[in-house]
Amino acid sequence: MRGNVQSPSERKGDGKTGPLRQRDMRGRPKDGRIDEDVVVAVLNLLKAKGYRHVTIERVAKTVHRARTSLYRRWPSKRQLVAYAVLSSLNAAPIADSGSIREDLISAVEALRRAFAGPLGQALPGLVADMAHDAELARIIRDEVLVPRRSSIKRAISRGVDRGEIRGDIPIDSFIDLLTAPFYFRALFGHARINRPFIETIVDCALRAARR
């Protein structure tokens, strides 16, 4: 079963992450085709109907599999959605442009693109589920937050080395200041995330970090 979202195998070589590591999700699929079809079905449901309408029963019907075969791989809807969303994310590190401003704009532009896709559709529901599921919260932190924060930290270090920003800034607090507005808008949907907004936030963060 194919939808209008590319499967993980069709995205090979584009710098995007693969599925979650085996230790992260119980019941790792043994049939690769089931895995790909389920990811496509979940992403298409997220796009068409949103997180609330994704159910294991509906996904199983879409891929013509028994619900029990999906439950053996993903014991809950939240794990199933997290698996599919993380399979679609781009985790490529920020390229070194030679400018801290351009590097940070690239970082938050990547975040904007992620929120414009399946992650944005799933984020409110996943955040709500994370409050009650410590393992899900760990997976989201490890697979979504940590790689992106690490890439931003490297960009900040390059900016410090070039003398663009001071070396004593509290890096974790700086990253929170830089990225929080985008999560806020993605969660509440009260305003768009566009290029002018991206540049405004980056410039505000840099003013606080310069000498």
Q: Considering the chain, what percentage of its residues have pLDDT values greater than 70?
A: 83
- Give the mean model confidence (pLDDT) for residues 101-125: 93
Lowest mean pLDDT among 31-40, 91-100, 117-126, 195-204: 31-40
- Place 14 in a pLDDT band, splitting at 50, 70 and 90: very low
Q: Report which residue type is found at 202.
A: V
The mean pLDDT of the chain is 85
- The count of residues in the chain is 211
Report in angstroms the alpha-carbon separations of 34 from 1, 31, 47, 158: 9, 5, 20, 43
Tokens 């079905």 sit on residue: 41
The predicted pLDDT at position 101 comes to 97
Asked whether the predicted pLDDT for residue 114 surpasses 60, the reply is yes
Smallest CA-to-CA distance from 103 within 13, 198, 180 is with: 198
Asked whether the predicted pLDDT for residue 90 surpasses 80, the reply is no
- Give the mean model confidence (pLDDT) for residues 88-100: 87
Asked whether the predicted pLDDT for residue 22 surpasses 50, the reply is no
Give the pTM.
0.76
The predicted pLDDT at position 93 comes to 86
Asked whether the predicted pLDDT for residue 154 surpasses 70, the reply is yes
Tokens 């009650």 sit on residue: 132
- Give the mean model confidence (pLDDT) for residues 149-156: 95
- Place 33 in a pLDDT band, splitting at 50, 70 and 90: low
**Do 96 and 23 touch, CB atoms closer than 8 A?**
no
The predicted pLDDT at position 123 comes to 92
Highest mean pLDDT among 19-28, 78-87, 100-109: 100-109
The predicted pLDDT at position 192 comes to 93
Asked whether the predicted pLDDT for residue 171 surpasses 60, the reply is yes
